[in-house]
Structure 1
Amino acid sequence: MSHTSREKAKLIARVRRIKGQLEGIERALEADAACVEVLRQIASVRGAVSGLTAEVMEDHLREHVLAPSSDLERHQGGEEMIEVIRAYMK
């Protein structure tokens, strides 16, 4: 996936921020933080993961559905996206 390679540093930075947020939830749980604080942190992680997912999905659509070099590649890119959306919606 050449498009993820081009954006690798940005995507890895996002994943590392999410990892830090998850570690924050772990620390909050270990410290017996108020449940509302833990819930806020969980909501933040969910939003961050959703944002990352949307970005990678958008990149896939642009690279493999909107701008492929052949109709076969376009069809394959579309089918892959359908697969991912079905998994995401479960």
Structure 2
Amino acid sequence: MSHLSSRPDLLARVHRIAGQVAAVEKALSSDASCATVLHRVAAVRGAVNGLLDEIIAEHLNDHVALPGLSDEERAVGADELLAVIRRYAK
């Protein structure tokens, strides 16, 4: 998926997620309340889900629904997407 490397908005999301994970680590290290840690972890989960949604949509558009793809290319793209969805659903 090298086309994703040209997406600075995705990299910006990853950097924000890294900051959120660091905030979880800091909260745990500083003996923050359970509620604080839970809120920070929930924020990380939401941010990762948003990133995943964006990348899934990109993959779907570029590797499954793009006009001009061969049947084989579509099948490979669909299989890749299905593998990710199954892994995520576990």
Q: Same fold (TM over 0.5)?
A: yes
Match of 2:18 in 1: 19
The amino acid that maps onto 1:32 is D
Is 1:3 the counterpart of 2:6? The answer is no
TM-score of the pair, normalised by structure 2: 0.92
Unpaired runs of 5+ residues, structure 1, are none
CA displacement, residues 49-68 of structure 1 (integer Å, 9 cap, x when unaligned)? 00001110110000000005
| Separation in 2, partners of 1:44, 1:33 | 16
- RCO greater where, 1 or 2, for CA within 8 Å and sep 6 or more? 1
What is the root-mean-square deviation in Å for CA atoms of aligned residues? 1.1
| Percent identity of paired positions between Structure 1 and Structure 2 | 49
| Separation in 2, partners of 1:15, 1:39 | 20
| Separation in 2, partners of 1:75, 1:32 | 49
Aligned length: 89
Is 1:65 the counterpart of 2:64? The answer is yes
The 4+ residue runs of structure 1 with deviation greater than 3 A are: none
Whether contact under 8 Å (1:22, 1:45) holds in the other structure is yes
Match of 2:74 in 1: 74
